[in-house]
Amino acid sequence: MLQDAGAIDSVRLARAYLSAIALGLTNPLTVILFLAALHAFSTQAAAAPLIAGVFVGSAVWWTMLSTIVATMRSRLTPRMLSLSSRFASLMLLGLGTTMLLRIAQRAFG
């Protein structure tokens, strides 16, 4: 039995929306800002604009990021994607090493 196209589209839309929320929750800065906003909300009357700003900022960030990735993905060759993955891996390795060295310096220095 074939499903109605509207039902399929609504399922896809709901899944995309929930995926966007899940991605937003994986952004540590968003989580920290929401926690700060909730604390401010409990102590100040002017916290609603702060909470709205955090929400809008997170939504704009993910919209920009997904748009850039979607645009660039179609223009990159598999070789370029492989090189960018290697470069990102090296950057993460360098940042992680730097953090571990700083922790070791503070602990033992």
| 3-22 pLDDT tens trace | 555 555 666 777 877 887 77
Identify the CA nearest to 84 among candidates 94, 95, 73: 73
Report pLDDT digits (tens) over 37-62: 777 666 666 667 777 777 788 788 87
The residues near 22 (Cβ < 8 Å, ≥ 6 apart) are none
Q: Considering the chain, what percentage of its residues have pLDDT values greater than 70? A: 83
The amino acid occupying position 90 is L
Measured N-to-C along each axis, helices 5-26 and 47-75 cross at an angle, to the nearest 10 degrees, of 110
Q: What is the pLDDT of residue 1?
A: 47
Tokens of 63: 């919209």
Query: What tokens does 79 get?
Result: 């070789």
The pTM of this model reads: 0.43
Q: Is 17 exposed, middle or buried (0-12, 13-18, 19+ CB in 10 A)?
A: exposed
Can you give the C-alpha Rg of the chain in angstroms? Answer: 20
pLDDT, residue 106, reads 92
